[in-house]
Amino acid sequence: MKTPILLFAVCVTLAVVPAMAQVVYSNGPTNGNTDAWTINFGFIVSDSFNLSMATTITGATFAMWLEPAAPVGPCAHCAYGGDTLETAELSITSLENGGTSYFDQMLNFTQSNCVANSYGYNICQENTSFNGPSLNAGTYWLNLQNAVTREGNPVYWDENSGPSLASQNMVGTIPSESFTLLGSFELKNSPDGSQQSSTPEPSSILMLGAGILSVASLFRLKIHR
């Protein structure tokens, strides 16, 4: 019975060798019941984010408020569904919706984990991935606009008053919104002056695999004693 255990450990080890996107910035959890800001029909919402080291941005998740499904028949709760965010323009700039532009594209979104809030809107997690820019450590601005939904309704970015600065093009300064940026950290200087990757190297993963195999062997010995 040793072979299945060893094969399982090796497979698990090899499965994690490719670099995976990780959270490089989070502006805090979804609120869902305070307020939200429109990101279509000419409105632009901008939130700042800070990077502590050189980083490549490859994706993002947002919390959005969307219109619920229209009632079907006499029962207002018989049909649960609602509108869907399809695309939105996402840009990354040096200033709030201005300055140097590092990225600007219309992106597709996938929607999940929708729940109804106390105002009757569906609060949904919106996910997108893209070949984003490589940015040095510093402060940048993430801007959302020109959103398109399946039903053509307004879509609203959830306000959670996280650590970011934020603004809306028609109003000015506002509380910040709920979002998480995904990507990978690039090479950084180690204390001895050399450069190291902040993500695990294949050799490190193989060492981890060897450790897993050792633990598996010890576990097997304990079982059969």
Residue 160 lies in a domain: yes
Q: Give the structural domain span for 142.
A: 21-188
Residue 199 lies in a domain: no
- Is residue 154 within 8 A of residue 45, CB to CB? The reply is no
Domain containing residue 61: CATH number: 2.60.120
Cβ count near 103 (within 10 Å):
18
* Average pLDDT of the segment spanning 117-129: 97
The encoded tokens of residue 50 equal 């800070």
pLDDT of residue 213 exceeding 90? no
Average confidence score pLDDT of the chain: 80
Residue 166 lies in a domain: yes
Phi-psi region of 99 (alpha: psi -120 to 50; beta: other; left: phi over 0): left
Residue 70: predicted pLDDT: 66
- Is residue 65 within 8 A of residue 155, CB to CB? The reply is yes
pLDDT of residue 10 exceeding 80? no
From residue 146, how far is each of 42, 50, 55, 175 by CA, in Å? 7, 24, 26, 21
Residue 1 lies in a domain: no
Q: For the chain, how many structural domains are there in total? A: 1
Residue 76 lies in a domain: yes
The encoded tokens of residue 98 equal 């201005």
Residue 200 lies in a domain: no
Residue 103 lies in a domain: yes
Q: How confident is the model at residue 21 (pLDDT cuts 50, 70, 90)?
A: confident
* Partners of 65 in beta bridges: 123, 156
